[in-house]
Amino acid sequence: MRDMSGIGGNEMNLKVEVIGVSPPCTRCKKTEENARKAAAKLATEGIKVEVAKLDVTAKETISKYGVLMSPAIAINGRVRIMGKVPDASFIEKLLHEEL
């Protein structure tokens, strides 16, 4: 994890995008739920995590991410997981890697 002490006390921000089908399937729902759990855990550390849901079939999502399998998770604009349902602790680990 990078030393963030020189940022002057500002909150650190991360953006998680859960990419899945709409309406969501069970796997996509669980992935979003786990992403929100991880975001809540990081919030206790003073790290703000925005969680958004994207439709894997939307033209904007396809052109931005090119995701072939859902669910997928992008963190700060980069796909980190595709085709798997990660648990909250794994998502939390990935979020810490982005700091």
- For 6-63, how does the pLDDT look when each residue is reduced to its tens digit (9 = 90+)? 344 445 789 999 999 999 999 999 999 999 999 999 999 999 999 999 999 999 999 9
The range of the structural domain enclosing residue 37 comes to 12-98
The predicted pLDDT at position 11 comes to 53
CATH label of the domain that carries residue 77: 3.40.30.10
Collect contacts of 76-81 with beta carbons under 8 A, ≥24 apart. 76/14, 76/15, 77/15, 79/19
Give the model's confidence band at 68: pLDDT under 50 very low, under 70 low, under 90 confident, else very high: confident
Taking the model in full, what pTM does it have?
A: 0.86
Q: Is 2 part of any domain?
A: no
Q: Is 45 part of any domain?
A: yes
Residue 72: φ, ψ to 5°:
-140, 160
